[in-house]
Amino acid sequence: MKNFQITTTCMMALTITSVFAEKNKKAKIPNVILINADDLGYGDIACNGSKTIHTPNIDLLAKKGIRFSNFHCTASTSTPSRYSMLTGEYSWRKQGTGIATGDAGSIIRPERFTLADVFKNAGYKTGVIGKWHLGLGDKTGTQDWNGHITPGPSDIGFDYSFILAATGDRVPCVYVENERIVNLDHSDPISVSYEKNFHGEPTGASNPELLKLLPSHKHDFSIVNGISRIGYMKGGKKALWVDEDMADVITGKAVNYINENKENTFFLYFATQDIHVPRVPHSRFVGTSGMGARGDAIMEFDWSVGEIMKTIKKLGLEKNTIIILTSDNGPVIDDGYQDKAVELLGEHKPSGPLRAGKYGSFEGGSRVPGIISWPSKIKPGVSNEIVSQIDLLRSFANFLQVQVPQGAAPDSEDHFNSFINGSKGREYLVTVNINMNLSIQNSDWKMINEGKGGTKIVETNLELGNAPYDQLFNLKTDLGEKNNVADKYPEIVKQMKDKLLQIKELKKL
């Protein structure tokens, strides 16, 4: 009887889904392309006020859509930020959502309802191309890299995937297409370890003479393409990526994906490796920013955005395609390689007017570029409303009339109208830093909860915002978070702390 009930419920869900999918098809619902850059700071794009960088394609996108000045990811590092965006759940509710190794098991388990499921249930074709960093396979360190690496993106709503398992600086340095390594020669199998090196394999630490880019800290394990990484790998020579070609490869895949799906309605999650380390842009971008590898990688990212824009225009899809451009966390200058990013930075301010950047609790860590264009519906402009990537899930679900299962996406709110016409956004937003310390903000105030951890990552020269006491900043008058006014406004600190507690407790899964 129980089984019968479950089956009936499932079938009803399927029927409802397909009715909506059919209806949506007829209504010419928009394609959606979500471009997520890696470590791109608020101040790294010209349209956010920077005079030191040239980003013509991103600026054009902003001109056609809404540019948000208060657009947030939920965490100042990649894995938790991406986790929240795809699941609609704050990462700090779930263990194991810190920065993932390249051999991490799937962090978003197959039973989870995701942003990709929203689109899939609405009848879209769904694809992810680029940086994944959410784990693959069942358990950490046990994947069959030479076979079907499952579970993976196809288990959480993506029909198609062409991804890097983790990041550019972590092994395995191969592309994984639909959960299988691309160009794998089975006579040269791949082994991966985050514990120990494979016998006789060179590393950055033991063989620096083999390196074309030296590490500045850590990143001295296995060597691939003359660059030492985090983690050890062996084999798979034909499958190894060439960093200089990565933007061309993934942008090419994204363009193909759009071309192949021009008759369908599609959702493409395009997550670039730019501008994360190692920053090794293609030679045609080298020297274009006058700022060294970091600036050149921004130029390369801008090019990728332009290729996507050109493609939808050429196919006549521009009017009815929503493009969302954002970043997974704030900026960092030296993140582990001697790429002269610090020396050549000049006057450029990667966080713009914001304090600090990646890893930390200050605004530079989680207030990121945010642009949304949809030429047939959006009136171009600027919005100062608080919006967050975590709300994409419920916003699109409600827009597409897709039912979010009970208990799923507990922190995601419907702010479709804020995304599309800049109307009132979120009231409160919680963000988390690398030390798991929480902050809460509204449009006036930001309270960084007392927490543990050092004040700075010395190697990256980035403030973390940790303090053993509460900090309060008035974002309206002190966007740069220079003056901690917690002592002056204890009642506001209390109100923010109470709200944080309420959010923490009310929404336990």
Beta bridge pairs of residue 164:
131, 175
User: Which window, 3-11, 47-55, 285-293, 329-337, contacts Ca ion (CB under 5 A)?
Assistant: 329-337
- Burial grade of 396 (CB within 10 A; 0-12, 13-18, 19 or more): buried
* Rounded Cα–Cα distance for residues 90 and 429 (Å): 10
- Residue 277 CB, shortest distance to ligand NG6, in Å, is 6
Closer Cβ to ligand NG6, 39 or 318, answer by number: 39
Closer Cβ to ligand NG6, 79 or 388, answer by number: 79
Residue 225 φ/ψ region, left for φ over 0, alpha for ψ in the -120 to 50 degree band, beta for the rest:
left
Residue from 50, 55, 77, 311 in contact with ligand NG6 (CB under 6 A): 77
- Residue 101 CB, shortest distance to Ca ion, in Å, is 15
* Rounded Cα–Cα distance for residues 433 and 463 (Å): 11
Residue from 39, 274, 318, 363 in contact with Ca ion (CB under 5 A): 39
- What letter does residue 240 receive in the DSSP assignment? B
Residue from 23, 93, 218, 504 in contact with ligand NG6 (CB under 6 A): 218
Among Ca ion, ligand NG6, none, partner that 335 touches (CB below 5 to 8 angstroms by kind) = ligand NG6
The H or E element that residue 181 is part of is: strand 180-181
- Residue 38 CB, shortest distance to ligand NG6, in Å, is 6
What are the backbone dihedrals phi and psi of residue 321, each rounded to the nearest 5 degrees, phi first?
-120, 130
Q: Are strands 232-234 and 191-193 parallel, antiparallel or unpaired?
A: antiparallel
Closest of 138, 379, 134 to residue 269, by C-alpha: 134
Q: Return the residues of window 128-157 that contact ligand NG6 according to CB under 6 A.
A: 133
* Rounded Cα–Cα distance for residues 395 and 402 (Å): 10
- Residue 294 CB, shortest distance to ligand NG6, in Å, is 13
Closer Cβ to ligand NG6, 24 or 77, answer by number: 77
Q: How many residues touch ligand NG6 (CB under 6 A)? A: 16
Closer Cβ to ligand NG6, 332 or 402, answer by number: 332
Among ligand NG6, Ca ion, none, partner that 258 touches (CB below 5 to 8 angstroms by kind) = none
Closer Cβ to ligand NG6, 34 or 230, answer by number: 230
Closer Cβ to ligand NG6, 121 or 351, answer by number: 351
Residue 282 φ/ψ region, left for φ over 0, alpha for ψ in the -120 to 50 degree band, beta for the rest:
beta
Q: How many residues touch Ca ion (CB under 5 A)? A: 5
- Residue 319 CB, shortest distance to ligand NG6, in Å, is 34
Q: Is 91 in the site for Ca ion (CB under 5 A)?
A: no
Give CA 134 to chain center in angstroms. Answer: 10
Closer Cβ to Ca ion, 78 or 261, answer by number: 78
Residue from 44, 296, 318, 328 in contact with Ca ion (CB under 5 A): 328
Using only C-alpha atoms, the chain has a radius of gyration, in whole angstroms, of 22
Q: Is 154 helix (H, G, I), strand (E, B) or coil?
A: helix
Query: Taking each helix axis from N to C terminus, what angle separates 56-64 and 293-314, rounded to the nearest 10 degrees?
Result: 50
* Rounded Cα–Cα distance for residues 106 and 151 (Å): 7
- Residue 78 CB, shortest distance to Ca ion, in Å, is 4
Residue with smallest beta-carbon separation from ligand NG6: 78
Residue from 159, 274, 300, 335 in contact with ligand NG6 (CB under 6 A): 335
Buried/exposed 247-282: b ≥16 CB within 10 Å, e otherwise: bbbbbebbbebbeebeeebbbbbbbbbbbbbbbbbb
Beta bridge pairs of residue 457:
462
Residue from 277, 324, 430, 447 in contact with ligand NG6 (CB under 6 A): 277
Residue from 55, 121, 329, 441 in contact with Ca ion (CB under 5 A): 329
What are the backbone dihedrals phi and psi of residue 469, each rounded to the nearest 5 degrees, phi first?
-140, 160
Residue from 89, 169, 274, 481 in contact with ligand NG6 (CB under 6 A): 169
User: Which window, 73-81, 100-108, 153-161, 330-338, contacts Ca ion (CB under 5 A)?
Assistant: 73-81
Closest of 86, 76, 89 to residue 38, by C-alpha: 76
- Residue 320 CB, shortest distance to ligand NG6, in Å, is 32
Residue from 33, 38, 265, 308 in contact with Ca ion (CB under 5 A): 38
Buried/exposed 313-326: b ≥16 CB within 10 Å, e otherwise: eeeebbebbbbbbb
- What letter does residue 269 receive in the DSSP assignment? E
User: Which window, 34-42, 241-249, 391-399, 428-436, contacts Ca ion (CB under 5 A)?
Assistant: 34-42
Binding site for ligand NG6 (CB under 6 A): 38-39, 77-78, 99, 133, 167, 169, 217-218, 230, 276-277, 329, 335-336
- Contact positions toward Ca ion, by CB under 5 A? 38-39, 78, 328-329
